[in-house]
Amino acid sequence: MKEKLYTPGPVEASPLILQAEARPLIHHRTPEFRAEMKKAGEGLQRIFQTDDSVLILCCSGSGAMEGATVNMFSPGDPVMVIRGGKFADRWMNIAKAYGAEVTAVEVEWGQVADPDAVRKALKANPGTKVLFGTHSETSTGARHDVKALAAVAREFDVPFVVDGITSVGAMELRTKDWGLDMVVGGSQKGFMMAPGLGFVSVSARARAIAAASKTPRFYFDFNKALKSWDAGGDTPFTPAISLVRSLVVAIELIEEEGIENVWARHAANGAATRAAMKALGLSIYPSVSSEALTTVLAPEGITSDAIIKTLLKRHGMRLANGQDSLKGRIFRIGHLGLYSAGDILAVVGALEDTLASLGHGLTSGAGLSAAQQVFAKSAHRESAAV
Ligand SMILES: Cc1ncc(COP(=O)(O)O)c(C=O)c1O
């Protein structure tokens, strides 16, 4: 049986996109490929909501994070990281690996960053060169208010670099309007593709910082990447040709639906999933939920491992477990990408059956009814293009 992925990355890939990946190769130093690269880059600008360049890198999201990090400071520089989950910690670990002096703004896992706490930290650390944050913290399912955090960074004239890996193409994100200097994305998330591409938007200020950065780097030197890009859609190294060509299709699918409709669909899917879980007597883990995934605490006496294993066995649907100390305590339902209201109802119904089989007391149909009520009130009820 083909497993259906309800994981927050990789997500279910669109068959149209997979087909595009499977086309015969063309050479990358050709007008034909450069035209596709340009189409992809310009499409990304619309999805990231910016007119600044968006680099297309041959790596997973973490590679793009490393690229964003090494270009934004020089060794010994003080930088600040807003913590609160495994992926925020990745910013810290990369920055430390390249010799930054890291100050952390501590956020309890499952909670979201308080802009006032960040303001206080920036005030106490006047030399801070760059602030790193996370929009959708996939390890906890929390959504941080990066718009408000960006406004705080602006008060101190500190560049703000955001991990948007599970938010770009899923949740409202306005790179230019919100003043985000770099936003990182990844192909296996809202783009409904296989893993392998990382994206980074680069503001004019970030470009200038990259030009001055003395951090040792080679593959992820954004000066090289920007120079090639400015020359007309080129890359310094061999690009992931097949993935870039399928990215063009992914962007077409997103734009066929309309980026704001995509955001609205994700918001409705998130709200319906949360309502369903609460109606089944379960608790939502984060204080503010990302619209890309719903993170749920396993009920007393049942581990999330058992829920995930049983759902997969009985229904062929794969959820994600918690990471680190949350393993066994939470399960994460990914709904970023293609998922329709019908897909949400399917996983809610299957979870009702799974939880009941594991002895969790519930009213059969309560989750489905709660989700349906949310969808009935939602203005956006169309399915995604596949
Ligand atoms: C928010 C966030 N940041 C970073 C990453 C790391 O990306 P990758 O696994 O593509 O390297 C992920 C992947 O799950 C993520 O969800």
Residue ranges of the domains in the chain?
15-256, 258-377
User: For residue 121, how far is its CA from the centre of ligand 1 (angstroms)?
Assistant: 26
Low-confidence spans in the chain with pLDDT less than 50: none
Given ligand 1 and candidates 166, 184, 191, 332, which is best to mutate, with the most ligand atoms within 8 Å of its CB?
A: 166
Structure token digits, residue 88: 């925020």
To the nearest 10°, report the CA torsion of 279, 285, 290, 291. Answer: -20
Given ligand 1 and candidates 5, 86, 138, 173, which is best to mutate, with the most ligand atoms within 8 Å of its CB?
A: 138
User: For residue 198, how far is its CA from the centre of ligand 1 (angstroms)?
Assistant: 10
Q: Can you tell me the distance from the alpha carbon of 101 to that of 152, in angstroms, rounded to the nearest whole number?
A: 21
How many alpha carbons lie under 13 Å from residue 218 in its C-beta half-sphere?
A: 1
Q: Can you tell me the distance from the alpha carbon of 139 to that of 8, in angstroms, rounded to the nearest whole number?
A: 9
Q: Can you tell me the distance from the alpha carbon of 306 to that of 201, in angstroms, rounded to the nearest whole number?
A: 40
Q: Encode pLDDT of 190-249 as tens digits.
A: 999 999 999 999 999 999 999 999 999 999 999 999 999 998 889 999 999 999 999 999
User: For residue 165, how far is its CA from the centre of ligand 1 (angstroms)?
Assistant: 6
Given ligand 1 and candidates 5, 86, 87, which is best to mutate, with the most ligand atoms within 8 Å of its CB?
A: 87
Can you tell me which atom of ligand 1 is nearest the CA of 167?
A: 1
Structure token digits, residue 113: 């960053």
Q: Which residues contact 246 (CB under 8 A, 6 or more apart)?
A: 17, 18, 20, 21, 193, 194
Cα–Cα distances in angstroms (integers) from residue 252 to residues 11, 42, 169, 282, 340, in the given order: 18, 12, 12, 38, 18
User: For residue 306, how far is its CA from the centre of ligand 1 (angstroms)?
Assistant: 25
Structure token digits, residue 180: 């985000």
User: Can you give the pLDDT at residue 131?
Assistant: 98
Question: Looking at ligand 1, which residue's alpha carbon is closest to its atom 7?
Answer: 61
Q: Can you tell me the distance from the alpha carbon of 308 to that of 312, in angstroms, rounded to the nearest whole number?
A: 6
User: Can you give the pLDDT at residue 255?
Assistant: 97
User: For residue 11, how far is its CA from the centre of ligand 1 (angstroms)?
Assistant: 12
User: Can you give the pLDDT at residue 216?
Assistant: 97
User: Can you give the pLDDT at residue 382?
Assistant: 60
Can you tell me which atom of ligand 1 is nearest the CA of 87?
A: 3
Can you tell me which atom of ligand 1 is nearest the CA of 136?
A: 1
Domain boundaries 258-377, corresponding CATH code: 3.90.1150.10
User: For residue 370, how far is its CA from the centre of ligand 1 (angstroms)?
Assistant: 31
User: Can you give the pLDDT at residue 379?
Assistant: 73
Domain boundaries 15-256, corresponding CATH code: 3.40.640.10
Which pTM was predicted? 0.97
Nearest 5°: phi and psi at 202?
-130, 110
User: For residue 78, how far is its CA from the centre of ligand 1 (angstroms)?
Assistant: 24
Find out whether 108 and 85 touch, Cβ atoms under 8 Å.
Answer: no
**Beta strands 160-163; 136-137: pairing state:** unpaired
Q: Taking the chain, what is the end-to-end CA distance rounded to the nearest angstrom?
A: 20
Question: Looking at ligand 1, which residue's alpha carbon is closest to its atom 14?
Answer: 9
Can you tell me which atom of ligand 1 is nearest the CA of 90?
A: 4
Q: Which residues does ligand 1 sit against, CB inside 6 Å?
A: 9, 60-62, 87, 90, 134, 136, 138, 163, 165-166, 186, 195
Can you tell me which atom of ligand 1 is nearest the CA of 63?
A: 11
User: For residue 129, how far is its CA from the centre of ligand 1 (angstroms)?
Assistant: 24
Can you tell me which atom of ligand 1 is nearest the CA of 188?
A: 10
User: For residue 61, how far is its CA from the centre of ligand 1 (angstroms)?
Assistant: 5
User: For residue 87, how far is its CA from the centre of ligand 1 (angstroms)?
Assistant: 7
